[in-house]
Amino acid sequence: MRKFKTLIAAGIAAILIFVLAHPSWLPLSQSARSRLLELEKSHFLIENSGKLTFAHIITVLMALCVVWLVYTIIKFILLSVGKKGARARTVTELIISTIRYLAVILAVIWCLSILGVNTTAVLAGVGIIGLILGFGAQSLIEDIITGAFIIFEGQYNIGDIIVLDDFRGIVRNIGVRTTTIEDVGGNLKVVNNSDIRNFQNRSRKNSLAVCDVDVAYDTDIPRMEQLIAAAMPKMYLAHQDLYMSEPVYYGIETLAESGMTLRFVIPVKEVNVFVARRQFNRDIRILFSQNGVEIPFPQVDVHQK
């Protein structure tokens, strides 16, 4: 739906550019049409100067439409290429972000030129100011350079699940300066690229959902293990959308105060780690309940003299 709206807007912009490029179609006086045609011929290619008129405004509008239309076409092409995989999508998002900044800069310079501003002098002044500010914008430069290394080294891509400090989420966007991460609750964390250190990428390999279940000490262990061995294939067949293979019973992990702790491991995709763990806990509880295997609770023995 969003792409459809973008295409409609691009079509409107193209029509507007075509109409503005033919002043004879506009309800203007002959002198205004001549002035507009003169501005379009001069300001779309070379710098000129003059007083601000209605023709200047129309020419500025036309220039903005041209820049926006070209940006939209390039963005549409890049997004189509980016569908081929997470890596391609990550690179295209970075390119789009860079082109967006360049389009804004180009639009500003072009409009100033149309309005008669000496853009050469402006650019020279901006260069000097930028050189001065550059010494105080080291963090911005560091963000941009770090973002480039993240992309080209493939440390993570859009759609990967990473753990940064105590925040675990899916990478939704990688920009020139920042990375946006979304957790399971829909909360977004925007982090400067230079601040992303010591993170974990959980999407490179399949993950393991680890489940620990306690049973009472008086449990018949051989019988319980037979029940588990018979149930694991059925659980896998019932939840192939979550489990990558059959859950594995590792054995008795610890001898706790109130019972024995059994450990189970389920190969899953990282995105399904918590869902698979909850599903397995439910299934194992039903299995034990139906077969008389007790899950213990804390108990206290009181000895009276």
Place of tokens 């250190």: 197
Residue range 42-86, pLDDT digits in tens: 555 434 444 556 666 777 777 788 888 888 888 888 777 666 666
> Is the model more confident about 146 or about 222?
222
Residue range 110-124, pLDDT digits in tens: 777 777 666 665 565
**What tokens appear for 155 in the block?**
């440390």
Whole-number Å distance between alpha carbons of 81 and 206:
27
The confidence score (pLDDT) of residue 45 equals 42
Q: Is the pLDDT of residue 302 over 80?
A: no
Whole-number Å distance between alpha carbons of 59 and 48:
13
Do residues 84 and 12 touch, judged by C-beta distance below 8 A?
no
Q: Where in the chain is the domain with CATH 3.30.70.100?
A: 207-290
What's the whole-number average pLDDT of the chain? Answer: 76
Q: Is the pLDDT of residue 161 over 80?
A: yes
CATH 2.30.30.60 for domain 148-201: yes
Q: Where in the chain is the domain with CATH 2.30.30.60?
A: 148-201
Residue ranges of E strands in 204-243: 207-215
What's the longest Cα–Cα distance across the chain? 116
Lowest pLDDT segment from 104-113, 199-208, 295-304: 295-304
Indicate the pLDDT class of residue 94, thresholds 50, 70 and 90: confident
Architecture of the structural domain at 207-290: 2-Layer Sandwich (3.30)
Q: Is the pLDDT of residue 18 over 70?
A: no
**What tokens appear for 19 in the block?**
């109409």
> Is the model more confident about 232 or about 23?
232
Do residues 116 and 60 touch, judged by C-beta distance below 8 A?
no
